[in-house]
Amino acid sequence: MTPDHLPRIHRLAEGLYTPIGYNGRGIAPGTVFGKAMADLLAGGKEEDLPLPVTGLRTISSARLTSRIYQMAFTANQV
């Protein structure tokens, strides 16, 4: 999940990308991003992706937020 609830496409290394952050809405965006990533890896251009490629950044509250989500999910299963 991303803090602003928007998906991202990151370049992890040359020729290695990751679309992330569907925030619970993964079926439709995952299909679009999957096709776009396949087109890119088959010789397409980054400019043709549905979102610009962005750099990775650390989110200061990620550890606390992750623990809160895990506690909520666990409590919901009981």
pLDDT digits over 13-65, tens only?
A: 888 999 988 888 888 888 999 999 999 999 999 999 999 998 887 777 778 88
CB atoms near residue 21 (< 10 Å): 19
**Tokens representing 36?**
């776009």
Residue 3 lies in a domain: no
**Tokens representing 62?**
């990620």
pTM over 0.75: no
The answer to whether the CB of 15 falls within 8 A of the CB of 1 is no
Per the structure, the complete domain to which residue 64 belongs is given by 8-77
Residue 1 lies in a domain: no
CB atoms near residue 29 (< 10 Å): 16
Residue 67 lies in a domain: yes
CB atoms near residue 35 (< 10 Å): 11
Checking if the pLDDT of 3 tops 80, the result is no
Residue 25 lies in a domain: yes
Q: What is the tally of structural domains in the chain?
A: 1
Residue 2 lies in a domain: no
CB atoms near residue 44 (< 10 Å): 13
Residue 50 lies in a domain: yes
Residue 49 lies in a domain: yes
